[in-house]
Amino acid sequence: MESIFLHHLQSFASFEDIPGDNPVRVYLAGLGMSAFGSFARINPNTDLSGNRSIYFDLPGFGFSDRPFEFSYSLEDQARTVAELLDRLGISHVFLIGHSLGGSVAITLAILRPDLISRLIVAEGNLDPGGGTFSKGIAAQSEEEFTRTGFANLLHGIKTKAENGDKSMTAFACMLQTAAPYAVYRSALALTKGIKSTMRTSYYELTIPRAYICGEQSLPDAPDSRELTKHGIKVLVVPHAGHFMMFENPNGFSQVLREALIQS
């Protein structure tokens, strides 16, 4: 694990940098999660190894610092990723983002199109309002969530894990290390979206794009016909829902490979 000091935040951001060929693949995780922890189970037998891969923990989560003065908005998170890539001298990356990471990835592609040459979003939020999880968090005040809401949320997730939900086990392990105020502000950012709306901006991008969703998420997933109409390749991970990387890691690996090669 490596770290880079972010001068504008006066804090460290951490990332795992796996050597390999270009193009570089950059992975961003979901709300409260670690990038390497989220994507570590990608099957190396699906030709996903070999390229340089960077797993970046967004501020507030994983092994990165938890700056209190940071806004945790989608734009500021995206600028943080941009600073990392600029400092490493990397551009034209293949960017893969799950959930919150997908929304940050779209925002980064809008703010710094020079950095991204291919964009893969795995169930990232496209519309203001957020998903059920982020809406439940944002419905509270920050003081309320940090005082009792975060502990209650974590307890509920751990209860599901104890009842045999393996995806919740991984989620609980990563979420419990996150800063509660970072979780809250990030959830609030997802409910607010960005000025032009995530969906509109995603449609207007001209780089190759793919949208990945779990089969069990399909009733609530964005309309695949609408995405396809705007040149976005839609791929489905079978026997999986939102936490597709844990629920069907082999299936997710196969779909991600297809997105990286054909999108």
pLDDT: which is higher, 88 or 167: 88
Residues 94-149 pLDDT 10s: 999 999 999 999 999 999 999 999 999 999 988 877 778 899 999 999 999 999 99
The average pLDDT across 233-248 equals 94
Least confident of 11-20, 97-106, 188-197, 198-207: 188-197
pLDDT above 90 for 152? yes
pLDDT range class, residue 193, cuts 50, 70, 90: confident
pLDDT of residue 6: 87
pLDDT range class, residue 220, cuts 50, 70, 90: low
pLDDT of residue 208: 96
pLDDT of residue 165: 86
pLDDT above 70 for 240? yes
pLDDT above 70 for 254? yes
What share of the chain in percent tops pLDDT 90? 74
pLDDT: which is higher, 8 or 84: 84
pLDDT of residue 127: 82
Q: Where are the domains of the chain?
A: 2-135+186-262
pLDDT of residue 42: 78
Measured between its terminal Cα atoms, the distance across the chain in Å is: 30
pLDDT of residue 63: 94
Mean pLDDT for all residues in the chain:
90
pLDDT range class, residue 217, cuts 50, 70, 90: confident
pLDDT above 90 for 15? yes
Residues 19-62 pLDDT 10s: 998 999 999 999 999 999 999 877 665 667 788 999 999 999 99
Residues 61-103 pLDDT 10s: 999 999 999 999 999 999 999 999 999 999 999 999 999 999 9
The average pLDDT across 155-184 equals 92
Q: Which CATH superfamily is domain 2-135+186-262 in?
A: Alpha/Beta hydrolase fold, catalytic domain (3.40.50.1820)
pLDDT of residue 132: 81
